[in-house]
Structure 1
C-alpha cells in the first residue's frame, strides 16, 4: 500500500512538473520573440518528419499595406482594438456551440499566433480555451506590429510547406510581398483559412468573389488596420 502511495505521489509530481514546464515555455519565449524571429509548431513538425519547409522572413515594413489591411478586415476586424481576444465574437461562438449550431472559430490573429507558436494543430475545445490566456499574454507583451509581423511570417500559405508571406507570394504570383496590388493581396488573405486547398494563383469564382468583397472592405475601412502601419498609418 505504501509503495502504491509513493508511486502515485511520484506520478503526481511528474505531472505537476510537466504542467509547470508547459506554462513556462510561452512565458519565457514570448518576450524572447520580441527580438528573435520564431518558427511555428507546424514548421517544427515538418522538420522532424523530413518534409520540406520554405520560409524567408520579411520585416513588416517589407509587406504591402494592402495585404495587412486585407488580412485584418478578413480575419480579425477588431485586431487594433482588442487585447488579443475578441470576447464578443468568442461569446457568440460559445453560444453557437452549446446550441449545436455551426461554429466559425472566432480566433483572433493573436490567438492564431498563440496556437501556431505554442499549441497543436487539431481543433478542440481544450485548445481554444488555452488560446485565450496565451493571446492575452502575447498582446500584453508585444506591440500589435510585432504580432502582425510574426503572423505574416509563420502562417501557412501553401500545400507544400510554404510558410510566411514571402513564400506564399512567390508561389502564387512570383512577387515580393511589398509589390502586391489589391487583387493579389486580397486573394492571399482569403487563402489563409484553408491554404492546403485554396490556390490564389488559380482561384475559382467563389474565391474571386470573396476576395473582391475583402478588397472592397479593406479600401473602405482600412483605417481599422492603422496600428500595423508605418507611423501608425497604412498607405492604401
Structure 2
C-alpha cells in the first residue's frame, strides 16, 4: 500500500509545484503590464559575464519615442505583429520548409517572443527554450496590449554590447533622445537587432547600411493610415 501511495504523492507534488509556478508567472506578467521591469534575464547575464562593464539602459515611455522607431522594428523584425497572437505559425512553417530545403534554420521569432526571451529566458536555439518562449509569448498577448509589448521590447532589446533599450542606443550612437529619431536613424537601429553583438549602428558595415535601407523602404510601405495606431 505504501508503495502505491508514494508515486501518487510525487505526482501531486509535481502538479502543485507546476500550478504554483504558473500562478507566479501570471502574477509577474500582470505586474509588468503596469510596472516597468527593473531588469531582464539578458541584462543580468551580461552583468555576470562582463562584471567590469556597465549596463546602459534608460526607460522611455512609448508616447515619448519617435513614431518611426516602433515602425522600424516591426518592419525589420515582425511585419505581421499587429495581427498575430504572439506566435507566427505561418513564419514558422516557412522557416521549417526552408530548413528542409537545405537552408539554415532561421529564428522566425515574433517581437512578442523576443520580448519574452529578453525578459525571462536565455539565448540559444534549443527546442526547450523555443517552447518556453512560445508559451510566454502567448501569455503576453493574452495579458498585455500590443502597445505595451512594443513599449517593453523597445526598452529592453539589445542594440549593442551592454546597450539595452532605444533611449540608451539613441544617446550612444546619435547623441539624441529616442523622441527625436529620424526615419533613417530608426532604420539603422532596427537593422542591427538580429545580431547586435556583431552589427553596429555606430560604425555601420556595408551590410548594416544595406539592411537599414531595406528597413526604411519597408517602413514607408507599412506607414499607411491606421498601421500601428490602433493597437
**TM-score of the two chains, using structure 2 as the length reference:** 0.86
CA apart distance, 1:45: 2.7
Which segment drifts farther, 98-107 or 173-182?
98-107
State the alpha-carbon separation in 1 of the partners of residues 164 and 147 from structure 2.
19
Q: 1:196 to 1:222 in 2, by over 3 A?
A: same
Deviation at 1:12, TM superposition (A): 6.3
Q: 1:169 aligns to what?
A: 170
Counting matched residue pairs gives 226
Aligned to 2:127: 125
The residue aligned with 1:73 is 75
Query: 1:142 maps to what in 2?
Result: 144
TM-score by length of 1: 0.85
Instruction: Tell me, in whole angstroms, the C-alpha distance in 2 between the residues paired with 1:30 and 1:177.
Output: 26
Deviation at 1:90, TM superposition (A): 1.3
Structure 1 gaps of 5+ residues are: none
1:49-102 deviation digits (Å, cap 9, x = unpaired): 645221110001111111111110110000011111111011222344456531
The verdict on how the C-alpha distance between 1:200 and 1:142 changes in structure 2, with shifts beyond 3 A counting, is: same
1:38-117 correspondence runs (5 A): 38=37, 39-47=39-47, 50=51, 51-97=53-99, 101-117=103-119
RMSD: 2.5
Contact 1:79 1:225 in 2 (8 A): no
SS of alignment partner, residue 157 of structure 1: strand
- The DSSP-based 3-state class of the residue aligned with 1:88 is helix
Match of 2:33 in 1: 34
Corresponding position: 1:23 with 2:22: yes
Q: Which runs of 5+ in 2 are unaligned?
A: none
User: Aligned equivalents of 2:114 and 2:226: distance in 1?
Assistant: 17
Kept in 1: contact 2:42–2:121 (CA 8 A): no
Moved more, 86-95 or 31-40: 86-95
Q: Which segment is superposed worse, 38-47 or 201-210?
A: 38-47
Quote how far apart the aligned CAs of 1:16 are. 5.0
Cα distance change of structure 1 residues 35 and 214 upon mapping to structure 2, 3 Å threshold: same
Closer, same or farther: CA 95–24 of 1 in aligned 2, 3 Å: farther
